[in-house]
Homo-oligomer: A and B are copies of this chain.
């Protein structure tokens, strides 16, 4: 029997991911708000505190929790450093607070006199716990309470605010209740929450057509990428490309002698996951690129694809890491009747799994050693989940600033598992959400659903694997519209360029989402200076994102009613509510649409009878709106989206002295 005198109860502590099995995520400087149901039997007064500490710290920090009514208590703390933390809640029936609460309501002077005596006992007990100056003050106070006197004097002494404050600092917590799990919190750097990605194939970065691009060429491309406003430069795999069973252009089964192959067919005689494809340059060239990118405010993100081309050195050095067919040959990837004979997956059920895990993790460590802090992981859902949980935790133990993006376009529960077990960010279904209802439902779920504590969406209107039908047929308006949606709906988004800004839209064949003449299998040359490029539009959106904290987090997203199903309206605001962005997007790439937008003024903190200014940060135009309902019209050929900054304070005649 544990101590049955613990009368306080703590229930429903949140946030909590699977009861503490996985960590809640925040970034440094971002508050964690904690709520719990705290109560006890009867009418006694409770106190509750939020406890938190860095995982390796011995002592807890404590924050007094405030009751919100209905037995819900709340407090928050703001972790300043990245790393792992723990938090919990303690609550106790507070004899002193109960005594004071009751005393204030006592009407009978005889009762008050007796209660003052009881208070003296409590003050003396608090003094014994206190020590120092507080102890002396509490002892003096106990003496005053014992001194009795006229009813008014007794009452004044008992309800002395200053003494109550001192006593409250030294509560009797010997019978406190404690939440039974120290819940984990992972605090990452700001880019975990707010990032803007640009993907390019280095081999297509040569200035002149036909030549294989190099890291040096990418270095020359940095000013362009920086001018567009991105902060992450993501490169597909940069390793030697297998020659055995190499795929040709447009995924042809056999490659021509001069075909460059897929960067995801990793490994050849020149090396594997820790080597660099010779045609791209040297280790020194790569280091130079990483450093140069940094100077442009760009971080280089590498692709991690744990799979092997048939001529990867692992096949020779570690055949035990691969599954064998009954004829002794190595099992290639397959999903019958489809065969992927150019790719060998690792066997995560092999007997030597510990060595395999160590080697795969050493790939991450190797590139971290080369200055890489962001990894985009290819198809993590086809590798064993326990490996990821272990590897990400191990890497983060030494390098808490490393970011992992999961490229798992798969079933929802699998994507959520990857996010919970440690991935910083996750690709999403955004590419296939087009209608007002689809976008509203999906992004409401992302912002407010249970995943909000651990699933950070990174939305991409295109990738080298995904040229959506919307982009194939929607023309320039569709590219602008999908970009505006991505940049404002999600704090992290990315594009695969220059295909995006140059509006590449031809599929390999009708009904396919593959690009025709995809860079996955061949070099491409892009004319970045084309007059119709979207580079200026992209640069404007990314500047707006940098200048407006509202767009740098996802939790505040709310959708607003419009009376036209082609008009999508939504808003986001900064945690201090000083920065408020409202977007209205015409979802049709073909026709002008107008309609009434109905804002939730209460939520936005706008007074219903005061005008406010809507400043379109894309066009520079300013509109004066009043009340919840206002009319908007958008011509997709000119601009499919308004990105309004709401200017809440406007003068009107009442603001002047002479008005009153």
A contact set with B: CB distance below 8 Å = 1-2, 4-7, 9, 11-12, 18-19, 37, 39-43, 70-72, 93, 102-103, 105-108, 111, 114, 117-118, 121, 175, 325-327, 334-337, 348-350, 353-354, 357, 381-387, 390, 411-414, 416-417
Contact = CB atoms under 8 A, between A and B. Distances in A.
A108 B334 CA distance: 13
Contacts of A383: 41
A362 to B, nearest CB: 16
Given A42-B381, A118-B326, A382-B41, A4 B336 contact: no
Identical chains bound together, number: 2
Contact of A385 (B41, B357, B411): B41
Given A114-B326, A114-B327, A326-B114, A413 B39 contact: yes
B417 A4 contact: no
Contacts of A348: 4-5, 7, 41
Nearest to A421: B9
Nearest to A21: B180
Q: Which 8 A-B pairs rank lowest in CB-CB distance, beginning with the nearest?
A: A117-B326, A105-B336, A19-B19, A71-B413, A107-B337, A102-B336, A42-B382, A37-B413
28 contacts: A1-B354, A1-B390, A4-B348, A4-B353, A4-B387, A4-B390, A5-B349, A7-B348, A7-B349, A9-B385, A37-B413, A39-B411, A41-B348, A41-B381, A41-B384, A42-B381, A43-B335, A70-B411, A70-B413, A71-B413, A71-B414, A72-B413, A102-B334, A105-B336, A106-B337, A107-B337, A114-B327, A117-B327
A595 B390 CA distance: 63
Contacts of A175: 349
Contacts of A350: 5
Is chain A's interface secondary structure helix, strand, loop, or mixed overall? mixed
Nearest to A411: B71
Nearest to A20: B19
A408 to B, nearest CB: 10
A13 to B, nearest CB: 10
A5 B390 CA distance: 12
Nearest to A181: B19
Contacts of A334: 102
A357 B4 contact: yes
Contacts of A111: 336
Contacts of A93: 349
A414 B37 CA distance: 9
Nearest to A351: B5
Given A41-B414, A106-B337, 17 more contacts: A1-B390, A4-B348, A4-B357, A4-B386, A4-B387, A6-B386, A7-B349, A7-B385, A11-B18, A11-B417, A71-B411, A71-B413, A93-B349, A107-B337, A111-B336, A118-B325, A121-B326
Contacts of A7: 348-349, 384-386
* Residue of A12, A39, A72, A384 most packed against chain B (CB within 10 A): A384
A351 to B, nearest CB: 9
Contacts of A335: 43
Nearest to A146: B326
Contacts of A326: 114, 117-118, 121
Contacts of A9: 385, 417
Contacts of A121: 326
B337 A384 contact: no
Nearest to A334: B102
B384 A354 contact: no
Contacts of A43: 335
A114 B325 contact: yes
Contacts of A71: 411-414
Nearest to A389: B4
Given A70-B412, A411-B71, A412-B70, A5 B118 contact: no
A70 B155 CA distance: 66
Contacts of A40: 385
A114 to B, nearest CB: 6
A106 B327 contact: no
Contacts of A102: 334, 336
Contacts of A18: 11
Contacts of A39: 411, 413-414, 417
B381 A337 contact: no
A108 B337 contact: yes
A326 B113 CA distance: 10
Nearest to A345: B42
A100 to B, nearest CB: 11
A482 to B, nearest CB: 27
Contacts of A336: 102-103, 105-107, 111
Contacts of A11: 18, 413, 416-417
Contacts of A106: 336-337
B5 A384 contact: yes
A491 B71 CA distance: 29
A387 to B, nearest CB: 6
Contacts of A349: 5, 7, 93, 175
A478 to B, nearest CB: 30
A18 B12 CA distance: 8
Give the interface centre of A42, A334, A382 by most chain B CB atoms within 10 Å: A42
A41 B348 CA distance: 10
A197 to B, nearest CB: 25
A213 to B, nearest CB: 34
Contacts of A41: 348, 381-385, 414
Contacts of A413: 11-12, 37, 39, 70-72
